[in-house]
Structure formats: C-alpha cells, structure tokens
Structure 1
Amino acid sequence: MYGITRRSLTIALIFTGLSALATYAALIALGPDWARYLPASCTATHCFCEFPRPGALVVQPAATWSSFAYVLVGWLMIGSAGAFGAAGAREAGSAMPPLAMRALGVTAIIVGVGSALMHATLTLWGQFLDVVGMYLIGSFELVWALARWRRIREGRAIALFASLCVVLIALLIVAPEVRRWLFAVLLLVAICVELVFARPLRPGVRLRLFLYGLLAMTVAFVIWILDQNGTLCAPHSLVQGHAVWHLLGALSLWLLFAYYRSERAVPQGTGPV
C-alpha cells in the first residue's frame, strides 16, 4: 500500500519491536514508583477513560502500546527513503527528498515514544515529551507547506523548523495549560496553508490522500472527545477509545506522508525546495 513492500514492512516491524523493548527498559529503569514524579496535569481532572493501574510499571497499557503505531509508521517512512536497501527506496519521480522523509519518520517515532511514556507513567515529564512530539509534527506540516508556497530553500526551512519548535517548547514550559489549543491552532494553520497555497504548486500531487488523512483524523478526534468525556468508556477494558485515536492518528500521518511523496519532481529551477 503506497510503496510498502514486504521487506520494508518486516524490517519496520522489527525496529518497532526494538523501540518498544528500549522504551520498556527505560520504564524499568525509571519506575515503577511514578508517584515520586510530578503528575501529568490531566490527573487533576481526568486522563482519558482508561483506568490508571496503581503501582503498575505501565499505568495505561492500551494507550501505551497503541502509541507504537506511530513508531511503525515512522520506520516505514525511513525505509521509504532507502534506509532498508533498494526494496525500500523512495518512489521514482517523487519530489520529496530522502532527508525530509527521514525527518518526518524520526518525528513520528518521537511522537509514538513520547505518547507511550506519557500513558505508561502519567507523569509531567511524560506529558512534556508527548506534547513535544505533537508540536514537532505540526511544525513539520506548517514549514513543509510554507517552504513549497514561498519556495524556501532546504537550509532556511530547517532553520525555520528548528526556530518554530524552540518557540513552541518554550510556550509549553511557561504555559502548559494551553498545549492542546496551541496544537489545534498550529494544525489548522498548517492544513489551510497546505490546501490553499502549497497544494497548487505541487505537480501531480494526489489530493485524495490528504483528504483521506483528514477524514481519519476527524474520526479519531470524535472518538477522542467521546473517550475524554466518558460517553464511550469502559475503564478496565483493553479496548480503549484513546487507543483507537492513536491508531487512526498514525494512519492519518502515513496518508499525509503518501500525499507529500506523490508530488512529482520537475526540472531544476522550478521544482520543490
């Protein structure tokens, strides 16, 4: 599906498993007494439907392990850049540079590991890592759209991406209570800039992939709300709405990547930055 070969999928699954083992080892080293750390801000109200297991190494297992869907997607992106050999090489004629593929892949991995640490510990530092990953994704989408629209060269785009991430992380430190609203605004701006200004400048791009990704994210957000307010909630079940949110979010991110990769390369001087 969209460039996934059996070889690249197998290797991505292996690396995802190794990432999960490394995360589990980190949890063993840091826990399981998560009460000695500052709690996540959501614990003052409600950290989603899944019941937190007191004294457990992994406090919310469904939400924790479903986060590795992002890690799998990230390794698939890295494989698409040719990291797994010729069988995983990037699609012929794609305008998306391998460096951008790898950058988005690493970002997806950070999102997944950060989310896993947040739900495994329900600590403030876990929440921080979780939100940082979300900001990285939103920043990449916005900068990649701006770079295409304003024809910003690669070096300047990287500097802009780094600067935006620094500003967002600083805001997360000084005003953590606005983290969700800030991420929503960042994502909406990125979507608007992409659809209105960047997309018309992407030759051959498959818009339906972007729209499918938006649909998956919209469904995921509805499930997130139903899980958060307790409408769709079975606290002790391993089937959790927030876990579905992770799975659909990872699917949405892969479709976004496929959309970017569908852009066709054009002669030098008129193509993408």
Structure 2
Amino acid sequence: MNARISRLPVVAAATTAVVSCGLLALAVARGWLGPDVGRGNTFCEAARAGLVKQPANTFSNLGFVVAGLLIAAGRGGKPIKTVMACIVVLLGPGSAAMHATQSAAGGGLDVLSMYLIAAFAFAYAVMRWRRAGWAAMGVTFAAGVAGCELAGLWHEPIPVVMYAGNVAFGLLLAAAAGLEIAIIRRGETTGRPGFAYASIGAMLVAFGVWNATQTWLCDPHSPVQGHAVWHLMTGLAAYLLYRYYDSENPRPPGG
C-alpha cells in the first residue's frame, strides 16, 4: 500500500503532462484555440509564420513540466505533493497555449494556469498560518482563483505589470511569500527555510528579467528571449518552494 501511495504523485503528474501537452499539440495543429489575435505581442518575441508563433517563449515552458515531474519524483510524501506537482506541470501547456498560437483562448489558458499556482501558494500558506484544515485551504484556493479572474475582467492597461490580472497574481504571490516568512519566524516548525528564501529570490530575479524584456532587453528575433528566462526561473522557483514544503515538520515539544 505504501509503495502504491508513493507512486501516485509520479503517475498523476506524468498523466497530467502527457494529456495536457498532447491536447495542446492537437489544438495548435488543428487551430482549436482560434485565430492569432496578437495576444503574445507584448512579450517581445516576433511572431513566426509557422504553427508555433513564438518558439522560444513556447518551448521554454517545458521547464514547468520538468519542474512538476521533479516535484512528483522527489522524496517526501506529503499530501500536497501530488496537487502541487500537477499544477506546476499545467503551467507549461497553459502558458505555451498563448505563445504558440497568440489566440484569445490561449491567453485565457495562460492566465488561468498562473492564477492556479498563485492561489495554491497563497491558500497553502494561509492554511498553515491559521492552523486550519484542508477545507479552509480549498475555499481560499477557489476564492483566490475567482478573485484573479474577476480582476482580469478589467482591461485598462496598467504600468509595468500590463493589466489587472497580473496585479492580482502578483499580490497573491507576495502575500504567500509574506506568510511563509511569518511562518518561519514563528518557529513552530523545523525545516530548511533556505529553500523558501531561494524560491523568493528566483521569483524576484525572474520578475526583473520579465520587466527588462519589455524595454531595453527586447530583441524580437533573438533565439534567446528574456521572457523564456522568466519561464525557466519561475519553474525553478516552484521547485524550490516545494523543497521547502517537503522539509517542513512540526517542531518537537521543547525543541
């Protein structure tokens, strides 16, 4: 029974990867996501004439799939492992849907995958900070995703972060980071907080690259794109965050 349980994260994440990436490949090949409306134009890379409009920004999303599979295959067996591994895997095809097609539907999948991981990180932090149960995490997670989707309905441009959905995404991540630091400082658990701080650092570097890509770092025809670096760095941040989650355990009485 224990061996079967230990295989669950790998089976779930691998199945998620195969099904989601396979469906994306079919959708791109058959035009299921709709016409190119220039949804990825703001991410520097020039659109190509082939099926995959932004190759670097598309294929760099494999970093999320790899990160999710590494989470699933890693040591540790906390209940959150399978859920997080699958959500991180979905970031890959979700983001690639937009960059490959530049379609409106692809853009919707991209932001939804972002909202899922941000709401997950926030909800898991809230649950542990409040010493609440899984039901509370589920409600917080659903509220986080819904809040981001509602914010995304505001289409007026916003300096630096482009639009309101990105603001909601960033606020959830910032709140999650703040809560994780507060949990560490509370001292009720043991673990390896260096992983948490490294994850936050990777996200800050990724955001710096993402922002620079909009201005002086932009080279539309370069095979190396700053936005692709954002994908790889945020995939690394997700993996490091899980390593922190996995290291965390209640502090023994008197410890």
TM-score (norm 1): 0.77
Whole-angstrom CA distance in 1 between matches of 2:18 and 2:140: 33
Whole-angstrom CA distance in 2 between matches of 1:187 and 1:70: 17
Q: What is the CA distance between 1:19 and its match in structure 2?
A: 5.1
The alpha-carbon distance between structure 1 residues 15 and 109, as it changes in their structure 2 partners (threshold 3 A), is closer
The answer on whether the counterparts of 1:74 and 1:108 sit within 8 Å (CA) in structure 2 is yes
Match of 1:48 in 2: 43
Q: What is the CA distance between 1:78 and its match in structure 2?
A: 2.7
RMSD (Å), alpha carbons: 2.8
Whole-angstrom CA distance in 1 between matches of 2:20 and 2:105: 19
Count of residues paired in the alignment: 237
Q: What is the CA distance between 1:140 and its match in structure 2?
A: 1.1
Mapping for residues 187-206 of structure 1, pairs under 5 Å: 187-197=173-183, 200=186, 203-206=189-192
The answer on whether the counterparts of 1:77 and 1:105 sit within 8 Å (CA) in structure 2 is yes
Match of 1:25 in 2: 26
Whole-angstrom CA distance in 1 between matches of 2:146 and 2:15: 32
The alpha-carbon distance between structure 1 residues 16 and 158, as it changes in their structure 2 partners (threshold 3 A), is closer
Pick the aligned partner of 1:182 from 168, 173, 189: 168
Match of 1:121 in 2: 101
Pick the aligned partner of 1:245 from 202, 217, 230: 230
The answer on whether the counterparts of 1:32 and 1:57 sit within 8 Å (CA) in structure 2 is no
In structure 2, give the amino acid aligned to 1:72.
V
Mapping for residues 94-113 of structure 1, pairs under 5 Å: 97-98=78-79, 100-113=80-93
Match of 1:151 in 2: 131
The answer on whether the counterparts of 2:184 and 2:193 sit within 8 Å (CA) in structure 1 is no
Whole-angstrom CA distance in 2 between matches of 1:150 and 1:31: 43
Work out the percentage of aligned pairs sharing the same amino acid.
33
The answer on whether the counterparts of 1:217 and 1:252 sit within 8 Å (CA) in structure 2 is yes
Q: Does 1:62 align with 2:56?
A: yes
In structure 1, give the amino acid aligned to 2:27.
A
Whole-angstrom CA distance in 2 between matches of 1:146 and 1:156: 9
Whole-angstrom CA distance in 1 between matches of 2:199 and 2:60: 18
SS at match of 1:135: helix
SS at match of 1:226: helix
The alpha-carbon distance between structure 1 residues 239 and 66, as it changes in their structure 2 partners (threshold 3 A), is same
The alpha-carbon distance between structure 1 residues 18 and 182, as it changes in their structure 2 partners (threshold 3 A), is closer
SS at match of 1:34: coil
Gaps in structure 2 of 5+ consecutive residues = 1-8, 156-162
Match of 1:258 in 2: 243
